[in-house]
Amino acid sequence: MGLTYLEKFRDPSLAKNLVAAIHKESRHPLRLMEVCGTHTMAIFRHGIRNILPETITLLSGPGCPVCVTAQKDIDAFVAVSRQPDVIVTTFGDLMRVPGSGTTLAGQKGAGADVRMVYSVFDAVTIARQNPEKQVVFCAVGFETTIPTIAAAVLMAAKEKVTNFSIYGANKLTPPALAALMTTPGVSIDGFILPGHVSVITGVDAYRSVFETHKVPSVITGFEPIDILHAVLMLVRQNESGVPALENAYPRAVRQSGNPKAREVMHQVFTVCDAAWRGIGLIKNSGMELKPDFKVFDAGARFELNLTDVAEPKGCACGEILMGLKTPVACALYKKVCTPMTPVGPCMVSSEGACAAYYNYG
């Protein structure tokens, strides 16, 4: 029996060869950032960190959607759930992220109707089934999820599901990378770029960041072989002194990505500035509803009276997302902040760096 598709990308002997090559070729210390939370999780789950040579430090980047959601947005989700006759729908991870007061899970415990969904379309269905209620979807995601959210908004518009709305905190990846590279103190020798996001954006979306900063960059998938392959490519680029923007995930990512998905996304959303947790406002890094679709904006539908709030004291999520610190360097890590009693979102999300350090040690 031949290897199945997935097994091929977990083949121990293939992995061994890649690891051997990395050990052999890596001479200078390198700080490589896996931008995406799914990569962080895969790296820990497959135990990749401890088979790499000491020269290589892996840093977790700003690519865990829950982790980069600003405190104010979390507060907004909570505030929406307090409104009468509202059903709040959300992806699971978001439920337990502490806002300045409580969490969505806390609200649910206190009687609010908060439901976990696997897809934004489930939220539209819930809206259809509960015409007397307002159904709000908490939209946090990157290029991977934004087109689906856009498609759901289009569907709601077409079918006149007027009690459906979204509270948008969507984010774009390339502007965050550009912002990172101009942040003082940040030093990154290579980016492991997210496979799923790139399926939509394509390789071209990273071109301008790459041309400006010349940081070695490799797009890759989430199987161990994909990740090891990307690490080896980044080692080679660094050792040879020739940075490049490469695609190690051609089985899924095309040069121009998925123009159709982007078209849907841009039909509904337009680029705006966005606040990233711990990092601050990044220009042109968010997506908001276009005027034609503003009727689906939960932010406009409800009066939420939100105030700017400081992020929890001592939580180093922001610095961790920028590769300036590792979770163990956070004074609260494991002492005050654990997955049971999370202080910051990085400890809540299964893709968060702090949770990964804690769970997979």
Under rule CB under 8 A, residue 45 binds other proteins = yes
Helices (H) and strands (E) in the chain, counts: 15, 11
Among 59, 233, 298, 317, binds ligand SF4 (CB under 6 A): 317
- Return the range that interacts with ligand SF4 (CB under 6 A); candidates 170-178, 205-213, 224-232, 332-340: 332-340
How many Cβ atoms sit within 10 Å of the Cβ of residue 183? 12
Contact code string over 257-296 relative to ligand SF4, x by CB under 6 A? ----------------------------------------
Nearest-5° Cα angle at 36, 32 to 38: 115
Of 223 and 288, which CB lies nearer to other proteins in the complex structure? 223
Nearest-5° Cα angle at 179, 267 to 319: 120
- Return the range that interacts with other proteins (CB under 8 A); candidates 28-36, 138-146, 176-184, 351-359: 351-359
Under rule CB under 8 A, residue 130 binds other proteins = no
List of residues 6+ apart from 136 with CB closer than 8 A: 80, 86, 87, 88, 89, 165, 166, 167, 298
How many Cβ atoms sit within 10 Å of the Cβ of residue 239? 13
Q: Coil, helix or strand for 183?
A: coil
Among 169, 228, 289, 315, binds other proteins (CB under 8 A): 228
Report the alpha-carbon distance of residue 351 to residue 169 in Å, rounded.
17
Under rule CB under 6 A, residue 74 binds ligand SF4 = no
* CB of residue 69 to ligand SF4, shortest distance in Å: 13
Number of residues that bind ligand SF4 (CB under 6 A): 14
Q: How far is CA 169 from CA 93, 139, 172, 182, in A?
A: 15, 6, 10, 23
Under rule CB under 6 A, residue 322 binds ligand SF4 = no
* CB of residue 228 to other proteins, shortest distance in Å: 8
Report the alpha-carbon distance of residue 240 to residue 250 in Å, rounded.
23
Q: Which residues bind other proteins (CB under 8 A)?
A: 4, 6, 10, 12, 15-16, 19, 38, 41, 44-51, 96, 118, 122, 224-225, 228, 338-340, 350-351, 358-361
Residues near ligand SF4, by CB under 6 A: 315-317, 320, 327, 330, 332-333, 337, 343-344, 346-347, 354
